[in-house]
Chain A
Amino acid sequence: AQTVTQSQPEMSVQEAETVTLSCTYDTSENNYYLFWYKQPPSRQMILVIRQEAYKQQNATENRFSVNFQKAAKSFSLKISDSQLGDTAMYFCAFMKHGSGNTGKLIFGQGTTLQVKP
């Protein structure tokens, strides 16, 4: 069975600084997807970034980028130029590749990020 671990329950960062959230996972699969989801205080969860395991290039979305280390089974999220609106709980998630698993995500426990002015 796959597991996802986020070892940092809470983190804080000053506005405009850079912060990195850690995520490790365990799987015997070779093809899979990894995601970071953001859940702000308003509670509606949204997708931040998506990585396909067969792609060596790290995914980026504006100020958000990942460091995907497949051999180490590590998938960290870097937020550059942190903004107050980045304050949220961040979830790392894993999904096996295959039509029978579309959308069946395994989530980590979450990391609460506080951006301070």
Chain B
Amino acid sequence: SQTIHQWPATLVQPVGSPLSLECTVEGTSNPNLYWYRQAAGRGLQLLFYSVGIGQISSEVPQNLSASRPQDRQFILSSKKLLLSDSGFYLCAWSRRAGELFFGEGSRLTVL
């Protein structure tokens, strides 16, 4: 069976510090991978998606970047965090159209 894991689950970082959130998928090959952000009291916003190694599409201009160094690994990064980067970040993969499988989420607080 397929599983998805992301870490860390919780992160508190000062403004200006770097960020690295990691997501891995097991039990499937060549999945589409996604990073979503969920701000408090709001819906999910797609940040990045990837259809293959090294292929990253950005949906919104921002302070974040994504990379896919391996088939089942997806990383969300920032060189210098802003206060507005605080939120709940969800990694997901898809099998068929629109059927997303989400990770447990990573809560980022930027102080």
Complex CA distance for A109 and B101, rounded to whole angstroms: 19
The SS class assigned to the B binding surface is: strand
Report the bound CA distance from A91 to B32 in whole Å: 21
Q: Are B98 and A93 in contact (CB under 8 A)?
A: yes
- CB pair B97–A97 under 8 Å, yes or no, is yes
- Chain B, residue nearest A46 (CB): B102
With a cutoff of 8 Å between Cβ atoms, the chain A residues found around residue B83 in the complex are none
- Interchain pairs with CB closer than 8 A, number: 60
Q: Looking at B32, B96, B98, B99, which has the most chain A CB atoms within 10 Å of its CB?
A: B98
Tell me which of B13-21, B39-47, B68-76 binds A: B39-47
Cα A109 to Cα B44 with chains together (Å) = 8
Q: How far is the CA of A102 from the CA of B57 in the complex (A)?
A: 13
Q: Hey, which chain A residues are within 8 Å of B32, CB to CB?
A: 102-103
> Are the CB atoms of B98 and A45 closer together than 8 Å?
no
Q: Does A30 belong to the interface (CB within 8 Å)?
A: no
A104 touches B49 (CB 8 A): yes
Residues from chain A with Cβ under 8 Å of B101 in the complex: 47
Shortest distance from the beta carbon of B91 to any chain A beta carbon, whole Å: 11
Q: Is the CB of B98 within 8 A of A44?
A: no
Q: Which residues of B contact A106 (CB under 8 A)?
A: 46
| Docked CA distance A34–B105 (Å) | 23
Selected contact of A35 from candidates B46, B49, B98, B104, CB within 8 Å: B98
Distance in angstroms between the alpha carbons of A108 and B45 in the assembled complex? 10
**Pairs A–B under 8 Å by Cβ, sample size 16:** A45-B102, A50-B98, A91-B43, A93-B98, A102-B51, A102-B94, A103-B32, A103-B34, A103-B92, A103-B94, A104-B49, A105-B46, A106-B46, A107-B44, A107-B45, A110-B43
B102: chain A residues at CB < 8 Å are 44-46
